[in-house]
Amino acid sequence: MKSIITEPMIPKPFRIHRKLKETHDTYTIELESTNGANGFPFSAGQFNMLYVFGVGEVPISISGDPSMPKMLKHTTRSVGIVTKAILKLRSGDVLGVRGPFGSHWPVNEAVGNDVVIVSGGIGLAPLRPVLYSFISQRDKYGKIILLYGARTPEDLLYKKELEQWRGRFDLEVKVIVDSASGNWRGNVGVVTTLIPRIQFDPLHTVSMICGPEVMMRYTLKELQNCGIKNENIFVSMERNMKCGICLCGHCQLGPKFVCKDGPVFCYDHIKELFGKREI
Amino acid sequence: MQTLEPYLAEHPFLKGLEPHQLKIIVGCATNVQFDVGQYILREGEEANNFYIINFGKVTLEIFTPDRGPITIQTIGEGDVLGWSWLIPPYQWHYDARAIEPTSAIALDAKCLRAKCEEDHDLGYEFLKRFTHVITQRLEATRLQLLDVYGVH
């Protein structure tokens, strides 16, 4: 009998099918199973542990379409030893994958409601699967609004898809950058300033936020000012995930474990922990 | 002829003012339009107006000799543009330029400053409301300075 403890600790080999450059330091890698397995089912918001053999392992959110599990997609930024090593890999190279781990965005729970998605920087990556899910079942939701903040126009992820989403009549997409020069004709400022400019029914709105924690803190404040209830706000937290199965304790957030209880949390369940300096 | 009073009375920035205070403001207000690329304010010029944007998009810019104009913020429908008219020496601290066809209500700041000196209740109301706008901008600026999306 297979051990339920050890199996999730064994990386499965996946081959890099394609590497797409998103920005100067961020790539999306498309992975296929080396053993021809049919797919890799996951829910929007979950993450995998990606293992570069001989270098190390990192938790990276899945950024692909949950309805197309055959091709696993991860968007990663070159910031540490492992992510730098990932981005040095080429098509055909193999890396190890463990997962999917963690909780997911409340895609089904949001049915019948307006949805406000607020993302910052690379925080759009874990939210892209949500957008795919919403678009594929568009008639089940009220308004769908995406607010996306980035550092500069050059740092925007998924530029082509953003253009496509902006072109749809049934999606409201607002993009803002912290600073810009030259030909940028879009918004400049912080993503929180977009919130008062959108219209939604606060009593029937589900909001999903992903980005740097300080950005989420100010976003929460704005959403609460608009009247969205804490139980309808969901955030994706980032901590030092190692085992992915709630054994090692590296990702502990007070009494919660981000790898298992999260990374997606209902804000109401962690409001006492959110922004607490000691944790 | 329809006056600007009903619109200004309902605008979030002016909502809740006493009717006589609103009348003073309406007396100082005019409709203005700006074409794409047109400057609304220029750094160093006298701050003689402030604006309530009806629609359009305006960039707030700082000109740097080496990088040209740097956009520090964009504002749009419903936003208030300009507070330097309240604070001596009443000069603009940045440029503001329309990047979309923009319609706004311009308020004569010289006229309003004089009215605020005469009517301190009105002056206090303006200060409270502008302090709120300034606080929001300051908070946004601090977040921008944190460079939260950068690699740290």
- pLDDT tens per residue across span A179-224: 887 788 899 999 999 999 899 999 999 999 999 989 999 999 999 9
> Mean pLDDT throughout B96-110?
94
Q: Cis peptide leading into B89, omega within 30 of 0?
A: yes
Residue A1: its pLDDT value, please? 42
Q: How far is B79 from chain A (nearest CA, A)?
A: 10
Residue B137: pLDDT over 70: yes
Question: Collapsing DSSP states into helix, strand and coil, what is residue A59?
Answer: strand
Contacts of A182 in chain B (CB under 8 A): 68
CB pair distance less than 8 Å for A151 and B76: no
Share of chain A above pLDDT 70, in %: 97
CB pair distance less than 8 Å for A77 and B151: yes
CB pair distance less than 8 Å for A197 and B67: no
If pLDDT is split at 50, 70 and 90, which confidence band does A261 have? confident
Q: What values do phi and psi take at A196, rounded to 5?
A: -65, -15
- DSSP letter, residue A189: S
Closest residue on chain B to A77 (Cα): B151
Contacts of A77 in chain B (CB under 8 A): 151
Residue A4: pLDDT over 70: no
Contacts of A184 in chain B (CB under 8 A): 71
Q: What is the mean pLDDT of chain B?
A: 90
Report whether A26 contacts A61 (CB < 8 A): no
Hey, of A81, A84, A185, A220, which one would you mutate to test binding to chain B, going by the most B CBs within 10 A of its CB?
A: A185
Residues, chain B = 152
Contacts of A181 in chain B (CB under 8 A): 67-71
CB pair distance less than 8 Å for A178 and B73: no
Closest residue on chain A to B69 (Cα): A181
Report whether A84 contacts A78 (CB < 8 A): yes
- pLDDT tens readout for residues A239-256: 888 888 888 888 888 888
Share of chain B above pLDDT 70, in %: 98
CB pair distance less than 8 Å for B140 and A189: yes
Token representation of residue A264: 């997606």
CA dihedral (A190, A191, A195, A197) in degrees, to 10, reads 70
* Pairwise pLDDT comparison (A153 vs A6), residue with the higher score: A153
Hey, of B72, B134, B149, which one would you mutate to test binding to chain A, going by the most A CBs within 10 A of its CB?
A: B149
Q: What type of residue is B148?
A: V
Q: What is the mean pLDDT of chain A?
A: 91
If pLDDT is split at 50, 70 and 90, which confidence band does B52 have? very high
Residues, chain A = 279
- Chain A contact for B149 (CB, 8 A cutoff): yes
Considering the entire predicted model, what is its pTM?
0.90
Residue A8: its pLDDT value, please? 84
Residue B1: its pLDDT value, please? 57
Contacts of B73 in chain A (CB under 8 A): 188-189
- Chain A contact for B150 (CB, 8 A cutoff): yes
Share of chain A above pLDDT 90, in %: 72
CB pair distance less than 8 Å for B148 and A25: no
Residue A6: its pLDDT value, please? 52
Residue B17: pLDDT over 70: yes
H and E: helices and strands count for chain B = 4, 8
Report whether A114 contacts A200 (CB < 8 A): yes
> Mean pLDDT throughout A135-153?
96
Q: What values do phi and psi take at A113, rounded to 5?
A: -110, 165
- Chain A contact for B1 (CB, 8 A cutoff): no
* Pairwise pLDDT comparison (A120 vs A3), residue with the higher score: A120
- pLDDT tens readout for residues A84-142: 999 899 999 999 999 899 999 999 999 999 999 999 999 999 999 999 999 999 999 99
- Chain A contact for B88 (CB, 8 A cutoff): no
If pLDDT is split at 50, 70 and 90, which confidence band does A262 have? confident
Q: Using CB atoms within 10 A of its CB, is residue A226 exposed (0-12), middle (13-18) or buried (19+)?
A: middle
Residue A272: pLDDT over 50: yes
Residue B50: pLDDT over 80: yes
Report ipTM for this prediction: 0.84
Question: Collapsing DSSP states into helix, strand and coil, what is residue B5?
Answer: helix
